Amino acid sequence: MVSLKTLEDYLRSKDNSKNFINCSEVPPICKSEPCMLGVDEAGRGPVLGPMVYGVAFCPLSQKAVLQSLGCADSKALTEDKRDEIFTKMLTESEPVQNVGWTAEIISPNYISNSMYRRAKHSLNEVSMNSAISLIKKVIEEGVNLAEIYVDTVGPPEKYQAKLLEIFPNIKITVAKKADSIYPIVSAASIVAKVTRDHALKVWSFKEGLDMDHTGFGSGYPGDPLTKKFIRDQVDNVFGYPLLVRFSWSTAELMLQEKAATCTFEDVEEVSPNKKAAGTKSISTFFSPKEDKRLRKRHKFFEERYLNVINAFE
């Protein structure tokens, strides 16, 4: 991957209804020297589009590379500036040789299904699972991780304790606004935000809707274009395209107002040892019948005056 265009081509080639991963090559120095890794996300709050989790890693001895890239508080950076920094991470020799990254694109479809299933999976759980799987992936690829810095999801103490339990031999710091404190987290945040921005730009509607990203905006509920999309694109039966997170209250309220009412009956769960009323055991189909009534003889036998003389035992 050598440019934003190749990033877009890759994102365009993937099934946007499913989760998938994009990553750089691991710089050889990251396998030999102790490294730090940052974790952050983009798109946690929007009603439209994926949430992206990103990690970035580099040797502890190469902090200056992050500073020269301009990795600071990513939220204070413009979209153009984030694109510029990410392009440098893809193309300039010093970042390419010292900084690696991985991003997981978590589809809106997966988010909605997780939050709606019977054993509900909260957004915090989706987020933590993504972060943990990305860290594990980096370790499996041979990166010599010594320190991990994470922008918090929920209470920092609880999250940090969980990570320490999984990665006991690594120094772990979980903090609020970590992307404004630790440059490596800012680098991860830039990876996540740039990936999400371009995933929206190349979004293809499986439903056949002829619209590009200029028609639905940033995806945040306060965006006028997003509000218009949510209001105008309701299907009476099927609801919304897969771009929309059905589980967000913004979408739920509009569906209640404009879509057809649907009622699901609760099915009573039957314990394994208790048969539902009127249900026969499968063994009854193989048991001898007690009904002694004679069956009516077939017309074929009656016309030919054929009778059973001796039944085979």
User: What is the per-residue pLDDT across 228-263, written as a single tens digit (0 to 9) for each?
Assistant: 999 999 888 888 999 999 888 888 888 888 888 877
Q: Is 234 left (phi over 0), alpha (psi -120 to 50) or beta?
A: beta
Residues of the chain with CATH 3.30.420.10: 4-201
40 is annotated as contributing to ligand binding: yes
Mean pLDDT of the chain: 87
Count CB neighbours of 31 within 10 A: 14
Residue 41 annotated as binding?
yes
Annotated ligand binding at 73? The verdict is: no
pLDDT value at position 201?
95
Q: What is the pLDDT of residues 21-58, one digit of tens each?
A: 999 999 999 999 999 999 999 999 999 999 999 999 99
| CATH number, domain 4-201 | 3.30.420.10
- End-to-end alpha-carbon separation of the chain, Å? 78
CATH 1.10.10 in the chain, residue ranges:
213-258
Least confident of 77-91, 95-109, 125-139, 154-168: 154-168
Reported residue count of the chain is 313
Q: Does CATH number 3.30.70 belong to domain 213-258?
A: no
- The more confident residue out of 254 and 270 is 254
- pTM for this entry: 0.81
